[in-house]
Structure 1
Amino acid sequence: MSHKCKQLPDKPLYGGGILKGQEIDYIWVRSWVKITDIESTVLWVVVGTKETCGATVIAREGCWSFVKGGFYLEAPLNTSVLHFEDYNGRNVHIEVASMSLQQFSEEQWRAHQDKAIQQVRKRNSIITVTDRHGAKLQGAKIKVEQISRDFPFGVAISSAILDNPSYQKWFKKRFTVTVFENELKWPSNEPRPGTSNFKTADKMVEYVTRNKIPTRGHNIIWQDPVFAPSWARNLTGERLRQFATNRLRTVMERYKNKFIHWDVNNEMLHYDFYETKLDDRNASLKFYQMAQAVDPNIPLFLNDFKLVESCGNGSNVDGYIAKIREFQRNGIKLLGMGLEGHFFNGVNPVFSRAVMDKFATVGVPVWLTEVDVSLKYGLEKQARYLEKVLREGFAHPGIGGIVIWAAINHQGSCWQMCLTDKNFNNTLAGDVVDKLLKEWHTGKLTGKTDSNGSFSFSGFLGNYRVTVKHPLRRRFKTTVSLSKGVGPQHFQIRTSHKNIEWGMNCRVVAFSGEKVTTVVTGDS
């Protein structure tokens, strides 16, 4: 794959930046690096140890590469020296130029998140009420209530939900998207070669379809041999290819158009099971080409861990961006990127934001797909870390959805992180989720139209129920959809009185810029 070789570094951002003697919780690090003596390698930026890695980049000999990342400081550092090193510990000559540093307090970082949320997850709206002749109605009482969210926010589920009304109620109250924890994986669906078992998966697909819950298809095959069927791990060559191809076609044809995404070959850059066993460096590409042929309208996701969580070697942001572009050049039209988000080495929101920034430039959907925090931190720190991760993801304009990895099994437990106990009482992590869901919801707003017949509000994107009552007219209800766009979104509600109790017809005209949408509703 050819890349344009950058001959000179750009000038340092922000004039280079100076770390002053004030409270520092977050540090942005940006610089340009160039290597010699080796064709290419992964470089990382660390302060002392691997646990304090702040950035990675794939550098190429003789070319300047941009490094972007930083550090979240939970405690004072015992060193102020940044190290630029080869990830694998090899001796490499590294030149560093145009270094820039920026510091932020906790309050400053949070203020930036809140500003970003206001810009990308909310929108200003103006509702104007008129009579059937277009005359604007002043003094009409308005109630605006958000009834659904635009941003997909969900949690994994297990088959335990099928016969547990409490589980179902808990999920439906909070979440709008899901993924099956294990029920769609190859070992579950083909426990013995040639013997299919989709009984549980069928029930779960029927459940989410009946309840209109968008669901990710996770996963078709898995690059880690530990998660291949035990009987398939020692297969090689054509026999493995036949079984893997049959697995892909069987599950995708069975559930065609049932899922919003497909994770085709899970964690493909962390491992190389199929490339090695099939002796084919293009094995993963061929699986994606087969998947596109079977279900061409559904985005095919690349999904991996240690991308947004912490520094990685094989599974790094540059490696996956290169893989996405390789797939696109080879005809894969609908691709997506899943950042799993299993946080086992603390959290570093600066690093996470830098990774999301890079992926956002590629032009494919990017989701946080399996977010959890290790139980080893204890429940309080686990919850605190979870909040930081969720805020960072929700605030980032490049993130299209978030799924938490906290499926509840039949015993009432979870893999690493539960949001409830077995009786569906919140854990501390569950309290965090409920707090954020409330914070990221407009709720109910009330007021009166002004002299222009207008009522203005700022709300989270989604659907709203609008109730209007004027002293000289009867009350009525309608729904409007607050969607992404530039500038305020205008809704014109034109009423026409009907001679029945509780009866009004209204026409809602939603317009922003040059786009106009008309919705006609009947009696309330």
Structure 2
Amino acid sequence: MIKIFQILFLLVVINSNAQEQILEKGIKWIDYSNQKAFQKNSEFGYLKSINFTNDEGSVFESETITQPKFIWNISVKVPTNDIVLKKGQTILLQFKAKTIFSNIETGEARILWIVKQSSDGNNGYKFNLEATTSISKEWQTYYIPFTTTKDVPADELSMVMQLGFPKQKFELTNLQAYVFPPNFDISLLPKTKITYSGMDADASWRKEAESRIEKNRKGDFTITFKNGNHPVANENVSIQLEKHDFSFGAALNAEEIVNEPEHLNYFSKMFNIGVFENDLKIKKWQNKKRRETVLKAIDILNNAGIKVKGHTLLWPGFRYLTDAFKENENNPEKIIELNDAFLVDVLKLTKGKISHWDVTNENYTNKELQKITGSNQIIYDAFLKTKALDPNAERFINEYGIISSGGIDKEKQDWYFNYIKELDVNTNNAVDGIGMQSHIGSDLTPITSVYSIIDRFATLNKKISISEFTMDITDTDIRYKYTNDFLTIAFSHPAVSEFLFWGYYMPNNPKGGLFTKDFKLTAMGKAFYNLVHNKWKTKLFEKTNNEGKVLGRGFYGFYSYKINFNGKQYTGVIHLSKGGKNNYEIDLQGK
């Protein structure tokens, strides 16, 4: 064991020395001669040094206290040395950081880094080189390469940190930028290490998950083919899953479904459920012309056999509500009246067309309406009124930061668990399902932790939705692997009823995109397709026995069958359902 440790230690030292040798080939760009240059104070937040050492060892703290209207309202121009760059030169930004807290959906703080190649106040932004970094909750070193797209004189070149994100706090150290000579081989540069627990091909959770999938997601069936009173014996039959009972879907928008048939075509081939990203929210709903488009899109989706999930009836923060709510912040009765009017309007017009609703959304950080009205009663009433107005639509709550950010936010997990129990007590169990958004940042939650978090909430005896899966990481290999593993572990848990990506089209939703601009599959799309439409798609080619029977096992869902008999092909559909008898008798004479 000692020898193994010594070898590992030696490898770490060698790797560290190699990185240092590479960095020495670059010129340090950041200037640490003036401590005040690193300070920023505004009404929205700050950046300050908590240990300034006049070099990269300096430690900084940043907090966004109030999110500004524009991200650039909290900007820090990083002090740099004068340097002239040629087109194609590489700058490597290096820093070490950790998140203290964040109200961003991933649970991770963010920094937007900008290398400015022009000081033109009107059009200079067109030449900006930008990168947004999500920061882990544990100390991690980040490397961000930039390559210049033009020759840049010293007085045009600068670097800026923009920090105007939702409330967040982080610490940062080892900040330096290295400028490398022209034609430097960028493949030699150190890269941000991206791994996650459970990614190994032989990880023990894989066999356990496959066993649960076999048990929970599949069932046995028997089909007996007859021709009148006679069995159709020794005939070839093909049986294929056409549509899963499990809900696989993504966020979309009504305009694309109504006006761009290509989107509906690809969406319907990929998914069996859709959720509108914004169209059913109160701000969009108040536009009556847009409302007509939404209602038409719902009908189109339903007619195509695609379920529609509603999102969201009550998002109790002013920024997500119409101006009338803010205007009446001192009038609790009016707030309730405005909310009730929206609920009645949208639920009556969509009744019978929405399979289930995210009744409330992100209540952990959005509490304005609860504060104005004096309690959580407005939340309880949203569930009760939804149940009364559309009793066949199931009712979900939705929250971020439960699974994401490494899955270590125990405080928020405990709050969510107890909050759901509170809702049950005050609504007579009107909550049918639990939404876990799963916006995954740079801190990839271990696969076994994903399962254990789901397993804990499953004790509340409700359906669980992976409701808004996205990934901040752009590395295609990691996007493929983590999507594959996350989807597998979620599908393996019997309480999970749906898996929804927050978006499907890369130009609109790069963090959740499964299709490129020309509808080719992305890395995330390939992971999804290979599981849902290959590995988890039952295809059987059998021959009836002497009694005309075919015995099979497959994933729950709707199946098509084809059988040739007496020179004629017969086709049909059966539904293999969990808990059903799943014994089918088909008389070809009757067809």
Which of the numbers 210, 216, 222 marks the counterpart of 1:114?
210
150 and 440 in structure 1: CA distance in 2 versus 1, 3 angstrom threshold = farther
Give the corresponding residue for 1:172.
268
Aligned residue number for residue 260 of structure 1:
355
2-structure distance, mates of 1:279, 1:348: 39
Q: Of 363, 366, 388, which residue of structure 2 is paired with 1:271?
A: 366
Asked which structure has the greater RCO (Cα within 8 Å, sep 6+), the reply is 1
Q: 1:477 aligns with which of 571, 574, 589?
A: 571
Q: Distance in 2 between matches of 1:321 and 1:250?
A: 31
| SS at 2:279 equivalent | coil
Q: CA 1:466 to 1:200, structure 2 compared with 1: closer, same or farther past 3 Å?
A: closer
Give the superposition deviation at 1:221: 2.0
User: Is the contact between residue 324 and residue 335 of structure 1 (CA under 8 Å) also seen in structure 2?
Assistant: no
Deviation at 1:266, TM superposition (A): 0.9
Give the 3-state SS of the residue equivalent to 2:573 in structure 1: strand
Paired residues of 1:304 and 1:315 also in contact (CA < 8 A)? no
User: Does 1:364 pair with 2:458?
Assistant: no
Q: Which residue of 1 aligns with 2:308?
A: 215
Shift of 1:225: 3.2
SS in structure 1 at match of 2:352: coil
Distance in 1 between residues matched to 2:459 and 2:240, nearest whole Å:
35
Larger radius of gyration: 2
Closer, same or farther in 2 for the Cα pair 1:289/1:463, shift >3 Å? closer
After superposition, the Cα gap between the structure-2 partners of 1:454 and 1:212, relative to the gap in structure 1 and judged at 3 Å, is closer
Structure 2: runs of 5+ lacking an equivalent: 6-97, 101-139, 141-196
Residue 297 (structure 2) aligns with: 204
Match of 2:452 among 320, 342, 354: 354
Percent identical across equivalent pairs? 22
Per the TM alignment, residue 400 of structure 1 is displaced from its structure 2 partner at its CA by 0.8
Q: Is contact 2:360-2:379 (8 Å) kept?
A: yes
Alpha-carbon shift at residue 305 of structure 1 (Å): 0.9
Residue 378 of structure 1: which of 462, 471, 475 is its match?
A: 475
Letter in 2 for 1:478: G
RMSD between superposed Cα atoms in Å: 3.3
Post-superposition shift, 1:138?
4.0
Q: How does 1:132-281 map to 2 (within 5 A)?
A: 132-133=228-229, 138-158=233-253, 159-190=255-286, 198-233=291-326, 235-236=328-329, 237-281=332-376
Partner of 1:327: 423
Bigger mean CA offset, 116-125 vs 442-451: 442-451
Shift in Å, 1:130: 4.8
**Secondary structure at 2:475 match in 1:** helix
Distance change >3 Å, CA 421–CA 315, structure 1 → 2? farther
Give the deviation of 1:106 after TM superposition.
Answer: 4.1
User: Does the CA contact (< 8 Å) of 1:292 and 1:332 recur in 2?
Assistant: no
Match of 2:135 in 1: none
Shift of residue 415 of structure 1? Answer: 5.3
Quickly say closer, same or farther: Cα 1:197–1:467, change in 2 above 3 A: closer
Tell me whether 1:124 sits opposite 2:220 in the alignment.
yes
1:285 CA drift (Å): 1.2
Letter of the structure 1 residue corresponding to residue 341 of structure 2: N
Match among 472, 490, 501 for residue 393 of structure 1:
490
| C-alpha contact 2:268 2:304 (8 A) present in aligned 1 | no
* 1:161/1:104 CA distance change after superposition, 3 Å: closer
What's the offset of the Cα at 1:114? 1.4
Residues 453/232 of structure 1: CA separation in 2 closer, same or farther (3 Å cut): same
Q: Distance in 2 between matches of 1:292 and 1:435?
A: 38
Q: 1:275 to 1:119 in 2, by over 3 A?
A: same
State the Cα distance separating 1:303 from its structure 2 match: 0.6
Structure richer in helix, relative to its length: 2
SS at match of 1:220: strand
Alignment gaps of 5+ in structure 1: 1-20, 22-48, 52-74, 76-101, 496-503, 506-521
Equivalent residues of 1:367, 1:399 under 8 A apart: yes
Q: Structure 2: which amino acid aligns with 1:233?
A: K
Deviation at 1:175, TM superposition (A): 0.8
Residues 441 and 241 (structure 1 numbering): CA distance in 2 closer, same or farther, change over 3 Å? same
**Take 1:131 and 1:283, find their aligned partners in 2: how far apart are those partners?**
61
1:185-211 per-position Cα deviation (integer Å, ceiling 9, x unaligned): 1111237xxx89623323322322333
Output one character per residue of 1:391-411: Cα deviation in whole Å (capped at 9) or x when no partner: 1111111111111111549xx
CA gap of 1:312–1:451, structure 2 versus 1, over 3 A, is: same
Q: Counterpart amino acid of 1:168?
A: L
Deviations 1:89-127 (A, max 9, x none): xxxxxxxxxxxxx99964222111211111111123333
Is it true that 1:336 corresponds to 2:433 in the alignment? Answer: yes
The alignment partner of 2:280 has SS state of coil
TM-score of the aligned structures, taking structure 2 as reference length: 0.61
C-alpha contact 2:383 2:430 (8 A) present in aligned 1: no
2:549 to 454, 461, 467: 454
CA distance, structure 1, for counterparts of residue 569 and residue 363 of structure 2? 57
> How far apart are residue 420 of structure 1 and its match?
1.5
Given that 2:469 and 2:512 are in contact with CA atoms closer than 8 Å, whether structure 1 keeps it comes out as no
- Provide the rounded CA distance (Å) in 2 between the counterparts of 1:394 and 1:301: 19
Range that drifts further, 361-370 or 171-180: 361-370
Q: How many residues align?
A: 396
Deviation at 1:426, TM superposition (A): 1.8
